[in-house]
Amino acid sequence: MFSDELAGNASRKRQEQAKARRRKIVEEQRKRKEGNETTYSSDKKVLQSASCRVEDTTKERKKSVPIEDFKKEFNVGIKTSKGLVVDKALEQRELRSVQKRSNLAAERIQSSFRAYVSNKKLIVEQKAILGKRLNDLVAVSKLLAKQNQKFCPPPSMVSLMLNQMLFVMHSRPRMRKIRKTKNDIGTIEFQYFSQISDSFVESDAKIIARVIEFGVIPGLLSSDRNLDPSSVWLQSAEGKIKLIKLMRLCIFLIIARQYTSTKRSDVNKQNKSSKLAASEDDVLVIYRMISIIIGRNETQHEERSEVATFCRTLFFSCRNCADYPISIGKRPIKEENLDLISLLRTFLLFPSGMKLNVIPRNADSLREKSISACDRSRADGLYNLISNLAWDRNDTVTSSRLFAEIFTVPLLTWRLEQSTIDNIVGKRSKDEKVDNPPFIYFMDAFLNVHGNSDMGECIPSDDVPVTICPSPPLLSLCANMSQLGAICPLIYDNDRLCSTVDVAIVYFKFMSLLVENTPLGSFSSRESEIGWVEEGSRLSPIVVSSIVRDQCKILLAEDFVRKVFRTALDIDVVSVDTVLHQKDEKDIKIEEELKSIQSESALSVAAKEATADHSTGFWQKSKWARNLSKKVTSLLGGNSKMSRSNDLHRESSECVSVLSTNQNSQQEKSNVKMSEGLNVKTANQHINKIQRQELLSCLTRTYAIIVSRWGGYARDIINVPATTPTVKVMERPDYSITPLLNVLCFSTSYLNISWALMQNNDALIGDLRDIVDVKKRPFPIRMTDLNSTCHKGKIDITRNMGSAFLLLMLSSLAHSLIVTDDVELHELESPLPKHQIRRCVILLKNILHRACCLDLNLEGFPKSNHVGLSLINLSAKVLRDLYDRSSRRLLCPPKLWLINDLFDSDIRKCKTYEDFCDILHHPVLRVCPFFLSFKQRLKLFDRLTTTNRESVQGRNDGHSFRPGVHIHIMRGRLIEDGLTHLNKLGPNLRQRLIVQYVNSAGATEVGLDAGGLFKEFWSDLSSQSFNPNWALFRETEDGFLYPNPSSNTAHGSDDIILFEFLGRILGKAMYENITIKPQFAHFFLSYLRGDYNFLHMLPDLSTMDRTLYNNLMFLKTYDGDAMDLCLTFAVSKDDFGSNEEISLIPGGENMDVTNSNKHRYIEMVAKYYVCDRIKDQCEAFRRGLWDVIDKKWLQIFNEPELQVVISGPNDGSIDVEDMKANTKLVGGYTVFDKNINRFWRVVKSFNAKQRAQLLRFVTSCERPPPLGFASMNPPFTIQRVPFMNNDQLPTASTCFNILKLPAYSSEKLLRDRLLYSIQSGCGFELT
């Protein structure tokens, strides 16, 4: 029973416990529900993301589950959990996850803190132990040092100290593992160094330096290799890692010795504090250790040399090398590469460690201050380490990399300390001797390594995009080298204790290579693009940095150019004068020929040249005739000069022989050779003459390339198909070249000396001979280049040296002629003596002859070089300028400009207008038409007008004439009727005009126009139109016409129409081969040709107003104060008594003329009188002229020649013998007829006026044709008329140039009747 009771109690007890547990569970569920609702409201934001995911899950389920099943589940959910079961379950899960993450974070923070505390304690303890050991080591070392003994600690002790030091420096609790991926800059080391700098403390630098000084260096210097700690570094992977970490710490200490910022945001700030910086002594210790390790060579122990090789590879092997040799075990450690040169380039380009603009935005205003002192000092330390190692070890490869990667950094001289820049250029104390500056040594190493490779491929070009660095590597290199050369005392200053100019020679040899390859923006004064970047839907140019451009142009600075050229041009003036003023037989012969025509005007000489025959004789022109003459001469025992193989070789030989003044005496020639003509100043007698010669050649080559690329001369004026320069060139002259040319022309004697050298140096003469002779240089002149070659580090500049001298000399001569007037050229013989000018003409003539004629026959040369194109362009420019000056005042005999027998056969073969146009478009007639005689060009013009006239009007044979334009002209209203009927025709004025005269009574004259009436009308019209009394033209003091500046006052707004009409009158006269009387001023004829040379304004002013010209010349040479003359920048305009003041510049009436601006005043006054005030009239006249005459037809003549084309000989004199020789006799007359003989005796007895009246009576023109009577078409004809009585008068048919002459019984009767007819002035009343 007791047991049953006990059993029942136990059963009840278990039941009660079960009920209690159920009640407790229910209570806990109720409390949890209430707690969940409270937590839900408070943590709503935390659970919002979980709710969103639940909603997304629900949506997905709605999409994937059928609608009926979804409704069932939804209804069941509502019934069982009232819609909150799923949501609350997910919320609970999310809360638990958040809580779990929070707990894990707290655990990590606690663990990290405990690790930080323990690690910090361990670091402090290890640093204290290391410090104690260092103190003991230092004490022992100093104690033994006092006894003159050296202490070398055991390698085990050194290894222990190194391990402790590396642990202290690298075990940082806050240091995180760095991702080994490239950043924007591309350097892992940069990030690593930045982390070290964030946790570096002041005492760390001293610890590193003391461990190295007292622990590592003594073992490295010990002769016992067992005491060398480095002997075991490469025996294990841990040893290699230890060595790499040690070197990394040393490099960091060097570059961060002034880097005191602890925040990345403060990197760019300039901090004057040096709290964390290592001292200079510490840095020197590190330099010493690295130098000792790397300086070991193969002659030392194998283990030591391996360490040296390992460190050199570590420091100076490019990180991008695919076959990087260093490895730890089986794993290569390419990522551990510590390439110092690449690291230095990175620091120089991006000192802040972030991808910013390489050239600071404020560089234009702040200049050097835009680079912070902190950044400059960091880069300076690393540069000194690398350069010292490369210099001390004479490491050519490292020096080459240093030059290629560091000297191509923009603004390099701003990014290093001034002391370092002084060391680079070799600046030392006054008593210290320097032979080779470091930057020249690095440059030589670069040339030795890369040799003749393309310079653009030898330097880094793709590591920095142009979007953040608007300065390509070659441009940056040019800027840096220009700056270094300008401050190097061995290049621009010879007063220092230097024995040679070898440094300057090497420098300018390299610059000749560099300027050939540098971008076009280097020396440009205008903005130049180097790339394009997309901005939305358009492209924007990336412009070259103006700061870098300015640094490049230091090479062209006047002071720099003046000093270097004066160093090279220090030649004895007496010897140069001897060469330039010495004359040979050819010079004397040319001068005698010139004296014979010196008294004649240029117009008279041109008129004579129109009928002169310069063609080569039969025995010289025919090949078989030359051979026959040669054989006959040989039979007679003579020696003929015609035995040369071809004319080209003869002309080239004559050209080059002209350049040598002393052909008969080799001894005299050797006395003035370039190598022996150099004389040195007393202060610099130590400088070798040969070195000066070489320096002059280097300077000439460098600046000749600059002039050819940036001078605007590299244009193809010959228009050879598919010829383009190999490099980019300036299409227009750049203003930056002007200072260079100013120095060469006006501050040095380069022009005279270079021209003298070209006549006396065998090498230069040989080069010039090659230029002229197509046999010796079988490729076109346009392909001439100045590309230097490099072999084993030596640059060869001897090739085409004559072209370089000639190009720079011609550019100087062209620049000098800009400011040289006729008085200076002829009387003062400046810039060169006149006989030397003639020699230059001969040389340039042969160069252009080959370029325009002979080179066109050479095939297979599609490309051109800017040097060859510039040489052709400059030759044409100088030769054309000299020819224009000779057309004003004879400088050379006319035949000196000619190329014999040029185009003779071609012109004879031409039949149609198109054939003659092909000749007109030939390069010779476009570039240098004066190579053809005036007579040849006049014939070409005659054939052009004749063939074109026949194609428009039809042939003058009476059958193929096309219908012309009929006009009625009253003899008393020639100008009015002509303007009414003709001006509206415009270009159609080329059509045939049929003139019907109306007399004063209004009756139509009986004459029929078959050409004669038109010629009579046009002669009378031109005579009246160009009459100065009509107020459209004025006369100069010499009687030449130019447009009246006051024509608007006299004729109102119609003056422009009248000038266009007068232009058409002149054009029609030239088109119909009618010579008219008006003669125009020289400058006005230049306007008509369409290429007026504004450099001739002052000489033109002298012909217009001699008094004004003399006043301006007085002002130009006035020694006193120009303000005393009370002149302003204004002139007075006098129009028929009304005065008006014209300002030459805005506000000119209030601006005084001073000594500083008087040259500008003179130019502006000349420009106003010669150009500005008649500009509208000249343009209107030219428009009318060009309506009828193509301007290309006019441009083959100079001004005097064009005047001869217009009006024939200037005095209008008639050559009776020429007229007699070309007269046709018809109707029974013969040359033996006594009446014809009487007629010629009568004509010879006439004066000039009577002869002109006779010519007008027969041909309607009183002036003979320019080519003489042989060119008259129809020819001058005398027809026999039966004699009826003594009252019968001679008559004429002007349409056919026929004089109908009766057979008079006596000479007196013939004279009287002939004079009566030609002087009556009647029309057809006497017919």
Q: Token pair 């949506």 is at which residue?
A: 59
**Average pLDDT value for residue range 1082-1099:** 85
pLDDT band at 810 (very low <50, low <70, confident <90, very high): very high
pLDDT at residue 9, rounded to an integer: 60
1323/16 Cα distance (integer angstroms): 163
Rounded to 10 degrees, what is the CA torsion of 971, 975, 979, 983? 100
- The closest alpha carbon to 1260, from 1067, 1077, 982, 1014, belongs to 1014
pLDDT at residue 171, rounded to an integer: 61
1013/1007 Cα distance (integer angstroms): 8
User: The whole model's pTM is what?
Assistant: 0.79
pLDDT band at 242 (very low <50, low <70, confident <90, very high): confident
Q: Of 156-170, 293-307, 906-920, 1307-1321, which gets the smallest average pLDDT? A: 293-307
Kindly state the percentage of the chain with pLDDT values over 70.
78
109-124 pLDDT, tens digit each: 888 888 888 888 888 8
**Average pLDDT value for residue range 708-723:** 82
> Is 174 in contact with 199 (CB distance < 8 Å)?
yes
308/294 Cα distance (integer angstroms): 5
The answer, yes or no, to whether residue 408 has pLDDT greater than 60, is yes
The answer, yes or no, to whether residue 732 has pLDDT greater than 60, is yes
pLDDT at residue 337, rounded to an integer: 57
pLDDT at residue 638, rounded to an integer: 45
First to last CA, the chain: 189
Opening angle at CA 296, ends 293 and 300, nearest 5: 125
pLDDT, the chain, mean: 77
The answer, yes or no, to whether residue 705 has pLDDT greater than 90, is yes
pLDDT at residue 1323, rounded to an integer: 55
Query: Does 555 or 1142 have the greater pLDDT score?
Result: 555
473-497 pLDDT, tens digit each: 999 999 999 999 999 888 876 454 3
The answer, yes or no, to whether residue 808 has pLDDT greater than 90, is yes
DSSP secondary structure, 624-686, as one string: HHHHHHHHHHHHTT---GGGSS-HHHHHHHHHHHHH-S-SS-HHHHHHT-TTTSB---GGGTT
Query: For the range 956-964, what are the long-range contacts, defined as Cβ-Cβ under 8 Å and sequence gap of 24 or more?
Result: 956/1011, 956/1273, 961/992, 962/991, 962/992, 963/992, 964/991, 964/992, 964/993, 964/994
**Average pLDDT value for residue range 799-812:** 93
pLDDT band at 507 (very low <50, low <70, confident <90, very high): very high
| DSSP annotation of 865 | -
The answer, yes or no, to whether residue 848 has pLDDT greater than 90, is yes
862-899 pLDDT, tens digit each: 788 999 999 999 999 999 999 988 888 888 888 899 98
pLDDT band at 675 (very low <50, low <70, confident <90, very high): very low
Query: For the range 627-636, what are the long-range contacts, defined as Cβ-Cβ under 8 Å and sequence gap of 24 or more?
Result: none
143/137 Cα distance (integer angstroms): 10
1261/419 Cα distance (integer angstroms): 86
pLDDT at residue 42, rounded to an integer: 44
Q: Is 962 helix (H, G, I), strand (E, B) or coil?
A: coil
The answer, yes or no, to whether residue 436 has pLDDT greater than 60, is yes
The answer, yes or no, to whether residue 13 has pLDDT greater than 90, is no
The answer, yes or no, to whether residue 1084 has pLDDT greater than 50, is yes
551/415 Cα distance (integer angstroms): 14
Rounded to 10 degrees, what is the CA torsion of 882, 884, 887, 889? -60
Opening angle at CA 188, ends 187 and 190, nearest 5: 70
Angle between helix 438-450 and 502-517 (nearest 10): 50
For the chain, the maximum distance between any two Cα atoms, rounded to a whole number of angstroms, is 203
pLDDT at residue 668, rounded to an integer: 40
995-1043 pLDDT, tens digit each: 877 777 677 776 666 666 777 777 778 878 888 888 889 888 888 899 9
32-48 pLDDT, tens digit each: 766 655 544 444 443 34
Kindly give the pairing relationship between strand 789-791 and strand 794-796: antiparallel
> How far lies 1141's CA from each of 194, 511, 1124, 1172, in Å?
74, 54, 21, 15
pLDDT at residue 908, rounded to an integer: 84
| Cis, bond preceding 831 (omega within 30 deg of 0) | yes
| DSSP annotation of 472 | -
> Is 606 in contact with 1200 (CB distance < 8 Å)?
yes
| Cis, bond preceding 1274 (omega within 30 deg of 0) | yes
115/109 Cα distance (integer angstroms): 10
The answer, yes or no, to whether residue 91 has pLDDT greater than 90, is no
Q: Of 937-951, 1223-1237, 1313-1327, which gets the smallest average pLDDT? A: 1313-1327
674/579 Cα distance (integer angstroms): 11
Q: Is 545 helix (H, G, I), strand (E, B) or coil?
A: coil
In the structure encoding, which two tokens stand for residue 62, read together? 């709605």
Q: Of 162-166, 501-505, 1043-1047, 1260-1264, which gets the smallest average pLDDT? A: 1260-1264
Name the H helices within 896-958: 904-909, 913-920, 923-927, 934-953
The strand pairing partners of 1132, in sequence order, are: 1141
DSSP secondary structure, 314-378, as one string: HHHS-TT-TT---EETTEE-GGG---HHHHHHHHHH-TTSS---SS-TTHHHHGGGGS-HHHHHH
Please say if 1178 is a catalytic residue. no
849/742 Cα distance (integer angstroms): 30
- The closest alpha carbon to 462, from 551, 375, 371, 531, belongs to 531
Q: Which helix (H) or strand (E) holds 1292?
A: strand 1291-1293
> Is 402 in contact with 439 (CB distance < 8 Å)?
no
Q: How far is CA 895 from the centre of its chain?
A: 37
> How far lies 82's CA from each of 52, 75, 77, in Å?
19, 9, 6
> Is 248 in contact with 192 (CB distance < 8 Å)?
yes
Which of 250, 1178, 1295, 1322 is labelled catalytic?
1295
The amino acid sitting at 376 is R
> Is 951 in contact with 911 (CB distance < 8 Å)?
no
Kindly state the percentage of the chain with pLDDT values over 90.
13
466/631 Cα distance (integer angstroms): 73
| Max mean pLDDT range (308-312, 373-377, 1009-1013, 1030-1034) | 1030-1034
611/949 Cα distance (integer angstroms): 24
Opening angle at CA 161, ends 160 and 162, nearest 5: 90
280/271 Cα distance (integer angstroms): 18
Q: Token pair 């130009």 is at which residue?
A: 1116
Q: Token pair 């670091």 is at which residue?
A: 123
Q: Which helix (H) or strand (E) holds 1035?
A: strand 1033-1035
- Residues whose CB falls within 8 Å of the CB of residue 1211, separated by 6 or more in sequence, listed in order: 604, 1248
- Residues whose CB falls within 8 Å of the CB of residue 916, separated by 6 or more in sequence, listed in order: 907, 910, 940, 943, 944, 947
Q: How far is CA 429 from the centre of its chain?
A: 40
> How far lies 593's CA from each of 299, 586, 589, 895, 995, in Å?
81, 11, 6, 10, 49
